[in-house]
């Protein structure tokens, strides 16, 4: 188990505090929302030091590249100053799983998809490409190896590309839980639980909205959560209201109830999902009161991810000329 | 010659006064210095404020030094074991209170450095917070001085 010596984090925690002042806050988002066109919103983004300095800034329609650059910049910073890179790598592995998923699907469908590979994983995207292509999995973690082999096997039986998503997404969360459990930090362990539970609730409600059966739901549910599988099983054949009733006994009662009330009216689960995301952000905000440790670093990572998600929501809204109120409603709570 | 005499005990008192408080100050200033480097990496213009906060936990070692100096000044070649024990005891408050308070003051200073990293105008508050811990070190210094007599 990886022990965290708080004093070792004195430098990085202080540096992050200054970085936090440069995160985009409500006023930035408001300026982007109030911009008269997508181009103007994009300008606000460029002015706020988005992307990697010196790199050509792509045009407004290629804003995703800018966001990918920003994510890359965040990981580079964290890896550079984290006394124990393993703490950051635990979160980077999610991107490895994403890349594996893309590569397998590209291989199965015969399409070229290298454009959407992320370069924020622990493995370089070129290295990952050749490992998956040549079926040389020695460098991968045991969970990755197992997932790739299972995905290949099941795909050859079923020819269903969705199976690749299910297996690798599940493995990705499992890897995160295992990695975080290996670090002696109650903050990270609790974070892993929150991520797992909220993901399960989201997936369950989405699946039930599509009237999926327990057979399917059982396949997608993550095993490491605190909400018992039986609870999901019991409510799997019933309306979602019954699930909301059953979950009363858990700590997510309030969020799910409030979220579902609105989501039921809107006939989509977006609002509930937003509240669940906000739950994680509220927890992560606790890091503001920690002077030294992994907390400020990981909180910054989450803050950046939430910020990028919000920028994406605003940019797609602006490009598609959606109403400002509608876009604003979709925004997640930010860290600052 | 006896194995333990008054002089040796008094020297031990001076050692405790300086050594223990010195360790505390080194740790306190060390932690705050790392935090300072973190802030300066992003914003070099804050050097002045950072240095003030970083230096605060060093006072404990100075108090320890003063007491060690006073103790050494009291040592005479023919002092009794009791007199030596007296001076040894006098070294303890400033040594141990200095040790712990310097470490905690270092933590407050680290948090203060983070505070001015975010809000430069809060330097006054950051210094005041760290000075609260200073009070205990000052009290221990006074106690040690009174004990030396």
Q: What is the pLDDT of residues B69-117, one digit of tens each?
A: 999 999 998 899 999 999 999 999 999 999 999 999 999 999 999 999 9
Residue of chain A whose alpha carbon sits nearest to that of B41: A15
pLDDT at A54: 76
pLDDT at A236: 86
* Chain B residues with CB-CB distance to A16 below 8 A: 38
pLDDT tens digit sequence for A201-248: 999 999 998 888 899 999 999 988 899 888 899 888 888 889 998 898
Residue of chain A whose alpha carbon sits nearest to that of B103: A7
**CB pair distance less than 8 Å for A291 and B111:** yes
pLDDT at A25: 86
Residue of chain A whose alpha carbon sits nearest to that of B37: A11
CA distances for B59 relative to A191, A211, B14, angstroms = 40, 69, 17
CA distance A174 to A219: 14
Q: Which of A7, A13, A18 sits opposite B42 (nearest CB)?
A: A18
CA distance A198 to A213: 20
What dotted CATH number matches B6-148? Answer: 1.20.120.610
**CB pair distance less than 8 Å for A14 and B39:** yes
Asked if residue A306 lies in contact with residue A196, where contact means CB atoms within 8 angstroms, the answer is no
Q: Which of B31, B39, B114 sits opposite A7 (nearest CB)?
A: B31
Q: Which two tokens stand for residue A164?
A: 């690749």
The answer as to whether A102 is a domain residue is yes
Strands A183-184 and A2-3: parallel
**CB pair distance less than 8 Å for A291 and B39:** no
pLDDT band at residue A81 under the 50/70/90 scheme: very high
Asked if residue A97 lies in contact with residue A127, where contact means CB atoms within 8 angstroms, the answer is no
Q: Which of B39, B41, B114 sits opposite A291 (nearest CB)?
A: B114
CA atoms B21, B22, B24, B28: torsion sign: positive
CA distance A37 to A85: 41
Residue of chain A whose alpha carbon sits nearest to that of B38: A15
* Chain B residues with CB-CB distance to A10 below 8 A: 31-32, 34-35, 38, 110
Distance of alpha carbon A316 from its chain centroid, rounded? 18
Residue A236 makes CB contacts below 8 A (sequence gap 6+) with A208, A213, A214, A217
* Residue B49 contacts A, CB cutoff 8 Å: no
Asked if residue A103 lies in contact with residue A45, where contact means CB atoms within 8 angstroms, the answer is no
Asked if residue B54 lies in contact with residue B39, where contact means CB atoms within 8 angstroms, the answer is no
Using DSSP, state whether A5 is helix, strand or coil: coil
pLDDT at B4: 79
pLDDT at A23: 93
Look up the pTM and report it.
Answer: 0.91
pLDDT at B144: 97
Beta strands in chain A (DSSP E): 2-3, 183-184
Regarding an ipTM greater than 0.85, the answer is yes
* Chain A residues with CB-CB distance to B111 below 8 A: 291
Q: Which of B34, B43, B107 sits opposite A18 (nearest CB)?
A: B43
pLDDT band at residue B2 under the 50/70/90 scheme: low
CA angle A313, A93, A220 (to 5 degrees): 70
- List Cβ<8 Å contacts ≥24 apart for A246-251: A247/A201, A250/A197, A250/A226
What mean pLDDT comes out for the span A119-147?
94
pLDDT tens digit sequence for A273-283: 999 999 999 99
Domain that holds residue A104: 86-183
**CB pair distance less than 8 Å for A15 and B39:** yes
**Residue at token pair 């936990």:** B57
* Chain A residues with CB-CB distance to B114 below 8 A: 13-14, 17, 291
The domains of chain B are located at 6-148
pLDDT band at residue A49 under the 50/70/90 scheme: confident
The answer as to whether A173 is a domain residue is yes
pLDDT tens digit sequence for B19-58: 999 999 999 999 999 999 999 999 999 999 999 999 999 9
What mean pLDDT comes out for the span A174-183?
95
The answer as to whether A209 is a domain residue is no
> Percentage of chain B with pLDDT > 70?
98
* Residue B94 contacts A, CB cutoff 8 Å: no
The answer as to whether A160 is a domain residue is yes
The answer as to whether A97 is a domain residue is yes
**CB pair distance less than 8 Å for A18 and B34:** no
CA distance A290 to A271: 30
Residues of A in CB contact (< 8 Å) with B are 7, 10-21, 81, 291-292
CA distance A124 to A72: 12
Count of CB atoms within 10 A of residue A6's CB? 16
CA distances for A319 relative to A33, A39, A70, A71, B68, angstroms = 11, 9, 20, 22, 73
pLDDT tens digit sequence for B112-147: 999 999 999 999 999 999 999 999 999 999 999 999
CATH of the domain at A119: 1.20.1690
CA angle B52, B102, B38 (to 5 degrees): 50
Q: Which of B34, B43, B107 sits opposite A11 (nearest CB)?
A: B34
Kindly report the average pLDDT of chain A as a whole number: 92
Number of domains in chain A: 1
Tell me which H or E stretch contains B50.
Answer: helix B47-55
Secondary structure (DSSP) of A37-67? SHHHHHHHHHHTT-S-TTSPPP-GGGHHHHH
Residue of chain A whose alpha carbon sits nearest to that of B34: A11
Considering just the CA atoms, what is the radius of gyration of chain A in Å? Answer: 20
Number of inter-chain CB pairs under 8 A, A vs B:
56
């Amino acid at each position: 188990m990886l022990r965290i010596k708080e004093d070792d984090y004195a430098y990085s925690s202080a540096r992050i505090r200054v970085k936090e002042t440069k995160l985009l806050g409500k006023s930035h988002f408001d300026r982007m929302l109030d911009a008269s066109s997508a181009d103007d919103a994009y300008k606000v983004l460029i002015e706020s030091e988005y992307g990697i300095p010196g790199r050509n800034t792509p045009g407004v329609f290629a804003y995703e590249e800018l966001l990918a650059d920003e994510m890359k910049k965040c990981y580079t910073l964290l890896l550079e100053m984290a006394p124990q890179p393993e703490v950051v790598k635990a979160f980077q592995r999610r991107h490895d799983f994403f890349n594996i998923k893309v590569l397998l699907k590209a291989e199965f469908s015969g399409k070229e998809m290298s454009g959407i590979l992320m370069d924020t994983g622990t493995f370089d995207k070129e290295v990952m490409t050749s490992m998956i292509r040549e079926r040389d999995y020695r460098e991968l973690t045991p969970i990755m190896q197992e997932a790739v082999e299972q995905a290949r096997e099941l795909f050859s039986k079923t020819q269903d590309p969705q199976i690749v998503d299910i297996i690798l997404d599940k493995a990705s969360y499992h890897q995160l839980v295992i990695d975080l459990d290996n670090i002696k930090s109650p903050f990270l362990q609790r974070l892993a639980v929150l991520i797992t539970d909220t993901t399960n609730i989201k997936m369950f409600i989405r699946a039930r909205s599509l009237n999926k059966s327990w057979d399917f739901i059982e396949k997608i549910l993550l095993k490491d959560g605190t909400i018992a599988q039986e609870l999901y099983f019991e409510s799997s054949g019933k309306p979602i209201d019954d699930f909301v009733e059953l979950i009363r006994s858990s700590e997510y009662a309030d969020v799910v109830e409030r979220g579902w009330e609105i989501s039921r009216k809107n006939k989509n689960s977006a609002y509930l999902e937003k509240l669940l995301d906000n739950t994680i952000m509220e927890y992560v905000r606790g890091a503001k009161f920690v002077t030294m440790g992994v907390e400020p670093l990981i909180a910054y990572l989450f803050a950046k991810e939430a910020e990028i998600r919000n920028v994406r929501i605003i940019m797609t809204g602006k490009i598609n000329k959606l109403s400002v109120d509608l876009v604003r409603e979709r925004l997640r709570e930010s860290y600052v | 010659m006896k194995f333990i005499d008054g002089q040796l005990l008094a020297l031990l008192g001076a050692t405790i006064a300086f050594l223990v408080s010195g360790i505390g100050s080194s740790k306190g200033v060390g932690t705050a210095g790392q935090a300072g480097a973190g802030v300066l990496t992003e914003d070099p213009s804050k050097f002045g404020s950072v240095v003030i906060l970083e230096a605060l936990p060093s006072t404990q070692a100075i108090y320890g030094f003063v007491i060690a100096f006073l103790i050494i000044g009291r040592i005479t070649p023919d002092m009794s074991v009791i007199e030596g024990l007296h001076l040894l005891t006098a070294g303890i408050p400033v040594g141990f209170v200095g040790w712990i308070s310097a470490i905690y003051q270092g933590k407050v200073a680290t948090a203060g450095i983070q505070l001015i990293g975010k809000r430069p105008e809060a330097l006054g508050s950051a210094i005041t917070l760290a000075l609260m811990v200073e009070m205990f070190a000052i009290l221990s210094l006074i106690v040690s001085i009174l004990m030396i007599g």
